[in-house]
Amino acid sequence: MRSVVVTGMDVVTPIGVGLERFWKAAQAGTSGIRRITHFDPEGLPTQIAASVADPALLGELRGAEGLDALEPRSVVVGVWAARSAIDQAGAMSAVRGPRAGVFVGTAGERQDLRQLGAMAYAGRAPGEPVTPRGFARELARRAGADRSYRTLPQYLAARLAGRFGIEGPAATLQTACTSSAQAIGEAVRAIRRGTIDVALAGGAECIVSPIEVQIFCLLGVMSRRNEAPETASRPFDARRDGFVMGEGAGFLVLEEAEHARGRGARPLAELAGYGSTCDAYRITDEAPDGQGAVRAMRAAIADAGLEPAQVDYVNAHGTSTPMNDRVETAAIRQVFGPHADRLLVSSTKSMIGHTISAAGAIELITTVLALRDQVAPPTINYQVPDPDCDLSYVPNRPVAVPIRAAISNSFGFGGHNDCLLVRPHGG
C-alpha cells in the first residue's frame, strides 16, 4: 500500500500565527480566550471566545497574501496557513497540476443577520413587501460586487486550487467538528489509491459572529465563565460547564512517500491510520455509549497495522462539555484497555477553544509536533478531577515522554467520528 507522509504544515490560531510560535505558546499553556470585542456581546449568556478577529492581525495576513478587504476572515487565515504549509514543504511546484488535490473542511462564513435583512429590503419593489424572489434577485446582483459568494463553503477550496494551480480533485467537507479531520483522511485515501500524489488538506473556520454565538447559546453547550475567560475551557475538569468557540486554520501538505523522496522532501511524520464512523444516533448529540468513537479509534489503529499498546499519546477531542469528556474517556478506556492508564491524553481546546471545522487539522498538527519533539502538550485549567474522567490528562504543564505513535480524535454534531494516527516515518 502507498504510504502517506506529512512534508509541510502551518497554522493560524488565537495563541500564535505560525507553527513554532503556536507550539511554543501551547507548551507554555497559553490561553487565547478573551471577551469578544469585534461585536458587542452584551446580553448574551456567553460573551467570550478565542477569535482571530484582530484588525491588525488580519491586515498583516491580508497584506502578506495580497488579499482584498472583501475576503472573509476564514479565507484570509486559510490562504495564509495553506501557502505557508506549501512553502515549508518546498512543494509549490509539486502541488501544481492534475496529480495534486485540495481537501478542505470549512463551513464558509455566515452572513450577519443585518446584512441579510438589508438585502431583503433592498430587493423589494417600492411599496411592496419583502419576497423570496426579490431577496434572491438582490443577492445575485451583489454577488459580483461584494463578498456574498465568498461566504460559500466551497469557495476556499476553489480559491486555493486556483491560487496554487491544483488541478486534481477539489473537495469541501462539512461534517461539523470533524470536517477538517475528515478532509485530511479523505486526502490520505486519495493518495493511497493512486488518484493523486500530493494533497493540500486542512480546514479554516471563523464563525464567532452574533448569529453563531446566539445559536450555540440556545443549545446550552457553551461555558458562561465570562468573568474568567482564560479559565473557561477546562476539558475533563469536574467543574467544566461547556465549550468555548474558537477560530483559526490549519493546513498540511501530504504526499506519497516515494514522491516525497523523489523530490528530496523531508517527512515530518507518516500519516499511517485513518478511521471514520457515524453514530447514526441524533443530529445534535454523540451517542452516549461512545461506540462510534470506539470504532473510529480502532479503525485508525488497525489501518496503521498497530496494536493499541503501541500508541502513547492521544490528542483528545476534549471539548470541555460534561458529556463529551465523559464519553470520550470511556471510549479511550474501551479501546486501550489496561494500556489506557499509561497513555497521555490532552486537549488543545483548553487553550484555543473549539475551532469547529478547523479543529481536526489544528489538533493533528499539534499531534505531529508532539511526535516530533517527544512531548505531550498540556490540558490547561485542569484542577478538580472528575471520577468519570480518570485518565492522565497532562494537567497544566507539558510532559516529555517517548511517543512511538499518536492519535488525534475528532467527534462532531451528527455523530461524526474521525481519528487520525501518526508515527515517525519508517517507524
* Active-site annotation, residues: 177, 317, 354
Cell 479511550 maps to which residue? Answer: 332
- Binning the chain into helix, strand and coil, the percentages to the nearest 5 are 40, 20, 40
Rg of the chain, C-alpha, whole Å: 21
- Strand, helix or coil at 137? helix
The answer to whether the CB of 274 falls within 8 A of the CB of 300 is yes
The continuous run of DSSP H or E covering 410 comes out as: strand 406-412
CA 355 – CA 246 distance, rounded (Å):
4
The answer to whether the CB of 178 falls within 8 A of the CB of 412 is yes
The answer to whether the CB of 376 falls within 8 A of the CB of 370 is yes
Amino acid at residue number 150: R
Q: Whose CA is closest to 328, among 338, 339, 316?
A: 316
Task: Give the chain's end-to-end CA distance (angstroms, integer).
Answer: 15
Half-sphere exposure of 113 (CA within 13 A, CB side): 8
Residue 44's CB is within 10 A of a number of other CB atoms, namely 18
Q: How buried is residue 276: exposed, middle or buried, by Cβ count under 10 Å (0-12/13-18/19+)?
A: buried
Q: Which three cell numbers stand for residue 153?
A: 463553503
C-alpha distances out from residue 128 to 4, 117, 121, 131, 133, Å: 59, 15, 10, 9, 12
The answer to whether the CB of 124 falls within 8 A of the CB of 130 is yes
Cell 516529555 maps to which residue? Answer: 400
Q: Whose CA is closest to 367, among 11, 33, 1, 16?
A: 11
CA 308 – CA 327 distance, rounded (Å):
19
Amino acid at residue number 307: E
